[in-house]
Amino acid sequence: MPTKIEIDPLTRIEGHLAIKLEIESGQVAKAYCSGEMFRGFENILRGRSPMDAQQITQRICGVCPISHGMASLKAQEQAYNLTLTDNGRLTRNLILGANYIQSHLVHFYHLSALDFVDITAILNYGGSDATLKGLQAWVKAQLDSQTMFPAAPFLPRYNGDYLPNLDANIGAIKDYVDALEMRAVAQEALALFGAKAPHATALIPGGITEKVTAKKIAAYGSILSRLRSFIDRIYIPDVVAVASAFPAYFKVGRGCGNFLAYGVFDQDNGGHLLPAGRIKQGALSSTDPAQISEDTSHAFFSSQSGLHPYQGQTEPSPHKPGAYSWLKAPRYEGQPYEVGPLARMLVAHQKGHAQAKPMIDKLLGDLGLEATALDSVMGRHAARALECKLVADACAQWLDKLQPGQPTFTDFEIPASGKGAGLTEAPRGALGHWIEIADHKIKNYQCVVPTTWNGSPRDSNGVPGPMEQALEGTPVVDSNNPLEAARVVRSFDPCLACAVH
Ligand code: NFE
Ligand code: MG
């Protein structure tokens, strides 16, 4: 008889995710990921002005709102036949770049690091750093108090094989605190061109409404140099240190073996900083959006299964027999695909990307690993950190190319009818919005979202989604403390708020 475990909710992720595991012979035999709520953004959008879409869809999430805004704009721009000015394209890259940086930092430090770092080490801190002493005093007071969950959100936690070294733990806790400040300043950089953070009001079809001024360029540049310094001196070394301390996690969490990327950060040559591509069981191939569909057989939707997003429907059916998740199951040619920084970095690596390939090869060389080891828990963390550097470095180049006083938008009129697909990459992976306009109004709107890909339930062939496949085979030493499973899920950086949209 398998031991059944429910992790519900899984904490330190965005949104509401339940994980059900069947453990046999000390490892996960079966895994089920359930998105636990319905939101209905696609239905809210129907009948509204298309111009509302980039604002409403940003409210799908507070962590990756810019990507939803960008996907919406790209869908509309295809429908309106619009091209961007150089300033429009560059400022959007800078807005999105700042969002990527804050998202990757929050994921590593504030969501994932406490799976590896021993937060209780703060009680043994003997140094004089004011922030750490303050944190120590707070934890001690909490533990002495009568509150139900003292020192939340740090405690309670699963018991397990945390970093044993006091200095390493204290250093990581200090970086955790400093990363909060970095996250805040990245949002300030975003708002310089986005006008507001986290939900940018400046996003309009054809560009952005904010102007480019020398003052904004200087302000963004000053924040960016702090961020780049933190990424180079703190973030990447911390990820390498965790990877070196937990080498087994390059063998744990292998996903479905398929990777998909739509391409993101538009360059002046029509290409992308992070290229589009698809890897099917090791083989690089191109990406054709016509091959995308959403299976609903195990999702709480009565909508027909297997529809392309242009035909997609969102009809909730909370009591549907056999359903166990509010996520649809996106499939490419009927197969599950992992999306995210690892997918983007693997595609870039296989394509011989000028910056990504040497960075990845150096990391693999330093850690003595083959490229196949990247399809793992630690590979996902490493890919995210390297990508963060690549994006931050590119932001400096885009900033240099801005032209103060030149237009940031192209004028347009909304046509009475039209269709458009907006494909981009959110921090967590491939994101698409599909819009159909009729009579100047939104007739249909469908979002196929990164965590919907990664966290999808089984499809009509019974094939589990990428996170479910990554969980299966994971060793779990103590079924009362399934820390290993939590590490696997968190390596995907799931956002269930996005996934159920
Ligand atoms: Ni709510 Fe999101 C990202 C999108 S994940 S965080 O990145 O789109 O599904
Ligand atoms: Mg959808």
Q: Mutation test of ligand 1: which of 262, 428, 433 has the most ligand atoms closer than 8 Å to its C-beta?
A: 428
Q: How far is the CA of 31 from the centre of ligand 2 (A)?
A: 23
Q: How far is the CA of 14 from the centre of ligand 1 (A)?
A: 9
Residue pair 460/448 in contact (Cβ under 8 Å)? The answer is no
Residue pair 105/175 in contact (Cβ under 8 Å)? The answer is no
Residue pair 395/401 in contact (Cβ under 8 Å)? The answer is no
The helix (run of H) or strand (run of E) holding residue 293 is: strand 292-295
Handedness of CA 478, 479, 481, 484 (dihedral sign): positive
Residue pair 261/279 in contact (Cβ under 8 Å)? The answer is no
The closest ligand to the CA of 103 turns out to be 1
Q: Cβ(451) to ligand 1 under 6 A? A: yes
Buried b (16+ CB within 10 A) or exposed e, 463-479: bbbbbbbbbbebebeee
Report the distance separating Cα 114 and Cα 481, nearest Å: 14
The closest ligand to the CA of 330 turns out to be 2
CA 217 from chain center: how many Å?
27
Q: Cβ(61) to ligand 1 under 6 A? A: yes
At 249, give phi and psi (nearest 5°): -80, 0
Q: How far is the CA of 206 from the centre of ligand 1 (A)?
A: 23
Contacts of 43 (CB under 8 A, 6+ apart): 314
Task: Kindly report, residue by residue over 455-489, the tens digit of the pLDDT.
Answer: 999 999 999 999 999 999 999 999 999 999 999 99
Q: Is 206 left (phi over 0), alpha (psi -120 to 50) or beta?
A: left
Q: Are strands 27-35 and 441-448 parallel, antiparallel or unpaired?
A: unpaired
Q: Cβ(63) to ligand 1 under 6 A? A: yes
The closest ligand to the CA of 309 turns out to be 2
Task: Kindly report, residue by residue over 352-369, the tens digit of the pLDDT.
Answer: 999 999 999 999 999 999
Q: Cβ(373) to ligand 1 under 6 A? A: no
Task: Work out the number of other CB atoms within 10 angstroms of the CB of residue 227.
Answer: 23
Q: Mutation test of ligand 1: which of 39, 61, 264, 388 has the most ligand atoms closer than 8 Å to its C-beta?
A: 61
Report the distance separating Cα 392 and Cα 185, nearest Å: 13
> DSSP labels for 68-121?
HHHHHHHHHHHHHT----HHHHHHHHHHHHHHHHHHHHIIIIIIIGGGTS-GGG
Q: How far is the CA of 427 from the centre of ligand 1 (A)?
A: 7
Q: Cβ(495) to ligand 1 under 6 A? A: yes
The closest ligand to the CA of 38 turns out to be 2
The closest ligand to the CA of 68 turns out to be 1
Q: How far is the CA of 451 from the centre of ligand 1 (A)?
A: 6
Q: Mutation test of ligand 1: which of 16, 58, 67, 101 has the most ligand atoms closer than 8 Å to its C-beta?
A: 67
Contacts of 319 (CB under 8 A, 6+ apart): none
Helix %, strand %, coil % of the chain (to 5): 45, 20, 35
The helix (run of H) or strand (run of E) holding residue 285 is: strand 283-285
| 431: three-class secondary structure by DSSP | strand
> DSSP labels for 165-232?
-HHHHHHHHHHHHHHHHHHHHHHHHHHHHHSSSSS-TTEETTEESSPP-HHHHHHHHHHHHHHHHHII
Q: How far is the CA of 66 from the centre of ligand 1 (A)?
A: 10
Q: Mutation test of ligand 1: which of 103, 449, 467 has the most ligand atoms closer than 8 Å to its C-beta?
A: 449
Contacts of 137 (CB under 8 A, 6+ apart): none
Q: How far is the CA of 291 from the centre of ligand 2 (A)?
A: 16
Contacts of 41 (CB under 8 A, 6+ apart): 56, 57, 59, 60, 447, 501
The closest ligand to the CA of 314 turns out to be 2
Task: Kindly report, residue by residue over 87-105, the tens digit of the pLDDT.
Answer: 999 999 999 999 999 999 9
Report the distance separating Cα 215 and Cα 223, nearest Å: 13
Look at residue 153 and tell me whether its pLDDT is greater than 90.
no
Task: Kindly report, residue by residue over 245-303, the tens digit of the pLDDT.
Answer: 999 999 999 999 999 999 999 999 999 999 999 999 999 999 999 999 999 999 999 99
- Which atom in ligand 1 lies closest to the alpha carbon of residue 14? 1
Domains of the chain: 3-118+162-499 (1.10.645.10)
Q: What percent of the chain has pLDDT over 70?
A: 100
Report the distance separating Cα 477 and Cα 490, nearest Å: 18
Q: How far is the CA of 426 from the centre of ligand 1 (A)?
A: 6
**Looking at the DSSP assignment, which residues form a beta bridge with residue 294?**
307, 330
Task: Kindly report, residue by residue over 62-75, the tens digit of the pLDDT.
Answer: 999 999 999 999 99
Q: What is the mean pLDDT of residues 418-441?
A: 98
Q: How far is the CA of 328 from the centre of ligand 2 (A)?
A: 7
Look at residue 11 and tell me whether its pLDDT is greater than 90.
yes
Q: Cβ(67) to ligand 1 under 6 A? A: yes
Q: Mutation test of ligand 1: which of 17, 63, 74, 106 has the most ligand atoms closer than 8 Å to its C-beta?
A: 63
Report the distance separating Cα 191 and Cα 361, nearest Å: 35
Of the chain, the end-to-end C-alpha distance in Å amounts to: 37
Residue at token pair 């199951």: 329
Q: How far is the CA of 81 from the centre of ligand 1 (A)?
A: 26
Q: How far is the CA of 294 from the centre of ligand 1 (A)?
A: 17
Closest among 310, 339, 322, 327 to 438, alpha carbons compared: 310
